[in-house]
Structure 1
């Protein structure tokens, strides 16, 4: 019996490692030196890191000296969401304003006291309420943290507008760009933010490596999260993960080279998937379908179909999907993102996320629709027999 060829449509959780990146990681693993050593082997490791720093910086329009490598997006966000994040010569923020639909690494990982945090509500499309943001500005020194793109729905936030509002009042702005980078153009200066956080495994790089990007060298996090030696110019202690950093660098370079063409290709595939799902399930609800979204992301629900049941059915069909962020998989709880958007709780229990990427083809989308039709027909037969 021939095994079913599997189709991976969960890129927002993790993109498959690109073959070129895997080769680069293996090459870097063979470097014997510590990047802090002055001998030739150490200098080779250092050169590998600095080349990657340039590649990652170029992806987001930053200066290489302002790229700080971390163990991932979570550590990067935990680091910068601190009262000690400040402009040199100034005091840090006394209050954190954070979007209600942020990733848990921001909502749960910041370093502010509970009584100095305010959550910014979102509208039914998942977009931050700017009027509520304005109400908080000018009261205290604020740090505002808003994702550029949501991991569950793909909804894009007006980060440039948020940055202008906040900085007009002397505040600081951080944006979690983990899901956005490599899928849409991301530029630190154009966004006007003070800090961005990134993660390699969303763009076909290795897991376990990310970056905190500062807009200038006039910004610092005075209270370091990881202390020890002077690595990363004192920003983040610990011997650098040279192989992962090298892989991150190449993944960033490839993502930058392919960005415009790939975004258009994925948006066309996403729209085709959406149309096909609506054809086989006319009552399907597209989550935030009217909002600006990532070109690769589609979140939908079919009334009466529970996500847990659907995920198993699709998996048996050889298709990997998600019911939300991978960080929450395996936990029976409603999505805080959908709750914040006011999605009906029963509908929210059935939301599925399709996220496309560099290996996705039109044939994959057709297979998804065919599998969806079989899953839906089973649901409709059960409804008919129960009537």
Structure 2
């Protein structure tokens, strides 16, 4: 019997409907979309065009503003390094947040080595950015602000529209990593004044290895310096033969998620609240992040009086859950997100991130709750 999967912020199982949409593009419609002289190329191009339309519609963008990448990490790198290279004559100051994904933090650190200045803004104890501090930090030489839509560890939702308005008013480009947000919360690049948005498929029951970067083309037109040259695909911004099956799968996953967003959010919030209400009956259980302004399927807690590694080990037979970002799970360092909330190392390491998804059930939540309470009590007794 495999453990119950509750790590949907790391990745999600592919929806069978998505796989069904993809399959013909592996075997029947296998052409290269750049081969425009025959039907094989046209078929691939048509599949890509449809996916591009779906993704653009989901965020209220235009089709030609969607650039396909290998995932959100590449999209983040393309956005941050691409803006830095294209606008360095205007300024070398970038603003981001201490709780960002490493795919944002590390490109910023790389740019610091090249002479850029980066302000890493703190968050308050519930994980939200102080908008007044953001206003104060923007300077005449600030070229980019990068703030993620939904945090991958604590699920906190930043006020994108407010941030976008602040950036727009000051003429600063606004990038958001929306890998965890697409298909889970409403996103509107026009209403929210978002200039660049990173997306990925595998967080919403689509394939791994495919993502996209939205790049605004009007009011203002955002310039991006290409980071991968050779072939001129994707408006010369991201060269390389497009992976048609994955792109088709991405489009299918977004379409399904958009159509079922409200229903799934209600279902996942109910499960999340059940977990929290039952586990929080124990003393020394701390909720990480704002309870209201967060993804419906996210619950992140720290547990006093237990060793984090021992807690994960005790839960393994029953539930597949993580203690932080899956991208840095091999690290023994405490989560940079939880330390940014002000937690000491011991508490930051003794955390659990429950990522509830489309295919989880109420019955599973009962088993997970029982296993978690049992593990915590047992470890505290032996401590």
The whole-number CA distance in structure 2 between the counterparts of 1:28 and 1:325 is 32
Partner of 1:80: 79
State the 1:131 CA deviation.
Answer: 2.5
Contact 2:152 2:325 survives alignment (8 Å): yes
Matches within 5 A, 1:139-178: 139-178=140-179
**Cα distance in 1, alignment partners of residues 262 and 249 from structure 2:** 22
8 Å Cα contact 2:201/2:207 also seen in 1: yes
Cα distance in 2, alignment partners of residues 337 and 92 from structure 1: 31
- 1:248 aligned residue (236, 247, 250): 250
Deviation at 1:5, TM superposition (A): 4.5
Alpha-carbon contact 1:152-1:324 (below 8 Å) kept: yes
RMSD, matched Cα: 1.9
**1:113 CA displacement:** 3.0
Please give the alpha-carbon distance, in whole angstroms, between the structure 1 residues aligned to 2:233 and 2:82: 22
For the 8 Å contact 1:80–1:221, the answer to whether it is kept is no
Provide, for residues 172-197 of structure 1, a one-character-per-residue CA deviation record: whole Å limited to 9, x for no partner. 10011111111111111122111110
Q: Within 5 Å, which residues of 2 pair with 1:75-224?
A: 75-82=74-81, 84=83, 93-110=91-108, 112-114=111-113, 115-217=116-218, 219-224=221-226
With 137-146 and 360-369 compared, the bigger mean Cα shift is at 137-146
1:326 corresponds to 2:326:
yes
Give SS of 2:331's match.
coil
Contact 2:156 2:290 in 1 (8 A): no
> How many angstroms apart in 2 are the aligned matches of 1:331 and 1:378?
26
* Cα pair 2:84 2:143 within 8 Å, conserved: no
- Corresponding residue number in structure 1 for 2:235: 233
Please give the alpha-carbon distance, in whole angstroms, between the structure 2 residues aligned to 1:220 and 1:167.
Answer: 12
What is the TM-score normalised by the length of structure 2? 0.94
Cα displacement (A) at 1:376: 2.0
CA contact (8 A) 1:85 1:219 kept: no
Report the TM-score, using the length of structure 1 for normalisation.
Answer: 0.93
- Structure 1 residue 373: Cα displacement: 2.1
Q: Secondary structure at the match of 2:324?
A: coil
The residue number in structure 1 matching 2:35 is 37
Going from structure 1 to structure 2, the CA distance change for 1:83 and 1:247 (only over 3 Å counts) comes to closer
Structure 1's unaligned 5+ residue stretches are none
Q: CA deviation at 1:158?
A: 1.4
Q: Find the counterpart in structure 2 of residue 314 from structure 1.
A: 315
User: Offset at 1:82?
Assistant: 2.7
CA distance in 1, matches of 2:44, 2:90: 35
**Partners of 2:83 and 2:175 in 1: CA distance:** 13
| Residues 1:64 and 1:91: Cα distance change in structure 2 (over 3 Å) | farther
